[in-house]
Amino acid sequence: MGSRADSQMKGIENVRPEDVDAYKANYRCFTPGLQTTDVMGAYTAWAQTYDATLCSGRYNGPEMAAQEIAARVEEDLRHCVRVLDVAAGTGRVGTELAKRGFTMIDALEPSEGMMSILEDTGVYSFKYTEFLGLGENSVPDDTYDVVVIVGGMGEGHIPVSGIDDLIRITKPGGLVINVMRLEYLDYVEAYKDKLEPYMDLLHQKGWWQKVDRKVVPNYAFDKEGIIFVHRVL
């Protein structure tokens, strides 16, 4: 039987028994109330075992994102498309993109511990050890054809204001692809009734155009994910 603290973990109620330990490890980085420094400390502590804990099958966001991007970029153009992987973690998304023929992949990841694992993948060119949405970052304007975030949205992670940065750094005509857990739209206070309305507001204002919004099964821990695709105008 789980403890009281376990039962207070959001979303744990329908997690399979064999995934409970991994869910708890993940929750250490997504616990409500964590400050940015706590989140960074939690990732640095987890970095060495992150990939084993969130193995493919249990966490499928990186493959889903890479498939989504590959479906939108013809094979013979992939070598000349500049991609920025935001909240890149240990480099799972870049690795999946490289398997599909993308060669110009940069990373933005604030945790030095996660970044040091990412470096070993060898698939990223330029690396920004920086935050998105928490003040200035050094990524130049209008730089990327595709900007992708996978698992970077959640409690204490990229704030709604990060959307402005995404638009700023993407070339006009470029794509922003955000893959996240669906239930976060409902129970992360910072996003509830804020994140999607803000995305839609920017669509109405003509900053970007909503290209797709789809709910997908088995994103992580057998839970649904959501894939947002926007084209910057």
Ligand X SMILES: C[S@@+](CC[C@H](N)C(=O)[O-])C[C@H]1O[C@@H](n2cnc3c(N)ncnc32)[C@H](O)[C@@H]1O
Residues that bind ligand X (CB under 6 A): 39, 43, 61-62, 86-89, 92-93, 108-111, 114, 131-134, 150-152, 157-158
Q: How far is the CB of 99 from ligand X (least distance, A)?
A: 15
Tokens at 42, concatenated: 């939690």
Q: Centre a 10 Å sphere on the Cβ of residue 64 and count the other Cβ atoms it contains.
A: 21
Handedness of CA 85, 89, 95, 100 (dihedral sign): negative
CB of residue 38 vs ligand X: minimum separation in angstroms?
A: 11
Instruction: Between 98 and 108, name the residue whose CB sits nearer to ligand X.
Output: 108
- Closest distance to ligand X from the beta carbon of 222 (Å): 17
The closest alpha carbon to 37, from 112, 100, 142, belongs to 112
Q: How far is the CB of 224 from ligand X (least distance, A)?
A: 16
| Closer to ligand X by Cβ: residue 73 or 132 | 132
Residue 153 or 204: which CB sits closer to ligand X?
A: 153
Q: How many CB atoms neighbour CB 136 within 10 A?
A: 8
Residue number with CB closer to ligand X (173 or 218): 218
Q: Strands 82-86, 127-128: parallel, antiparallel or unpaired by DSSP?
A: unpaired
Residue pair 169/139 in contact (Cβ under 8 Å)? The answer is: yes
